[in-house]
Structure 1
Amino acid sequence: MRNTARWAATIGLTATAVCGPLTGSALAAQAAPDSLYAPSALVLTLGHGESAAAAGPARAVTLTCAPGASGSHPAPALACAELRAAGGDFETLASGTGDVMCTRQYDPVVVTVDGVWQGKRVSYERTFANECMKNSSGSRLFAF
């Protein structure tokens, strides 16, 4: 009788040791998210006027940064890299100063950014005095 109990305990421990990790990994595989990256997908628009509501978009591009850079933006990889380096702060990118001299002509240009950045909903609007001022920020994000 002692051998039967010993064999039962041995078989039970062996089954637990062999099948336990398989069961745990199967459960972990079922609970795993679809992606390891938080979504980052943006729509950027450009319009002529003092506000997005008054201007209406003249151009629009898409930008997806996670898991890889893509979209209709002319330089998605550079724009995503700039945005990551700025910590997702659009104002920092729009306020940059380039070595460009612009006229004081007032012909307002408005850019908007709407979408999701690293899993968080974002909405941004900035009006520049003219197209040259927009381009003088030096940011590839707004160069479309």
Structure 2
Amino acid sequence: MNVRSFLRSRTAVVAATAATAFALGAGGVASAADDATTAASSLVLGLIPVENNPGQPSSVTLECDPVGGTHPTPKEACAALTEVGGDFAKLPNVSGVPACPTTYAPVEAVAEGTWNGTPVSYKEIFTNTCFAAIGTNNVFKF
């Protein structure tokens, strides 16, 4: 499955799940009585193995303002993105962490969605998932 197909299918699943949860009034999703607000920033983040990397793709959702989604540390990820105005290319490296393993298992970090209502489409290839996390201020640490 290519990256675009993966993200489209993941985005469709997230949208369908959110719509179902909204209709059912599930916790964490505003009900009609709450005046149904959506996150100002809603992203699908993915780590897609490339080249000869036999790993499996992984993805999470990230919502900011209000903070939520399936990202393991959404508050920190939203704060990191807020610092750079949602510009993934400007995310700083994490400092003060041990070196990443030198294992060559390249992954493409991808983000699709919106940041404060502006469409986002980001792609960058990293040597492995550790470098993807460190190179994006842990936004891709999942």
Q: TM-score under structure 1 normalisation?
A: 0.62
Higher helix fraction (1 or 2): 1
1:61 is aligned to 60
Distance 1:89 1:56, change over 3 A: farther
Question: Partner letter of residue 41 of structure 2?
Answer: S
Please tell me whether Structure 1 or Structure 2 has the larger radius of gyration of its CA atoms.
Answer: 1
The alpha-carbon deviation at position 42 of structure 1 amounts to 0.3
Q: 1:129 and 2:127 equivalent?
A: yes
Shift of 1:55: 8.7
TM-score, normalised with respect to structure 2 = 0.62
Between the aligned partners of 2:78 and 2:119, the Cα distance in structure 1 is 16
- Superposed counterparts of 1:1-144, under 5 Å: 39-50=40-51, 58-66=57-65, 68-93=66-91, 95-98=92-95, 99-137=97-135, 139-144=137-142
Q: Distance in 1 between matches of 2:114 and 2:107?
A: 23
Answer with 82-91 or 133-142: which moved more: 133-142
Equivalent pair of 1:47/1:57 in contact (CA under 8 Å): yes
The ranges of structure 1 where at least 4 consecutive aligned residues each deviate by more than 4 angstroms after the TM superposition are 54-57
| Deviation by residue 1:98-134 (Cα, 9 ceiling, x = unmatched) | 3332344322011100001101111001110122322
Say how many residue pairs are matched: 105
Identity %: 38
Relative distance call for 1:119 and 1:38 in structure 2 (3 A) is farther
Q: Which runs of 5+ in 2 are unaligned?
A: 1-35
- Residues 38 and 119 in structure 1, CA contact (< 8 A), matched pair in contact too: no
Cα separation, partners in 2 of 1:125 and 1:57, compared to 1, 3 Å: farther
The answer as to whether partners of 1:114 and 1:122 remain within 8 angstroms in 2 is yes
Deviation at 1:57, TM superposition (A): 6.5
In structure 1, stretches of 5+ residues that fail to align are: 1-33
Aligned pair in 2 of structure 1 residues 44, 140: CA closer, same or farther (>3 Å)? same
| Offset of residue 78 of structure 1 | 1.0
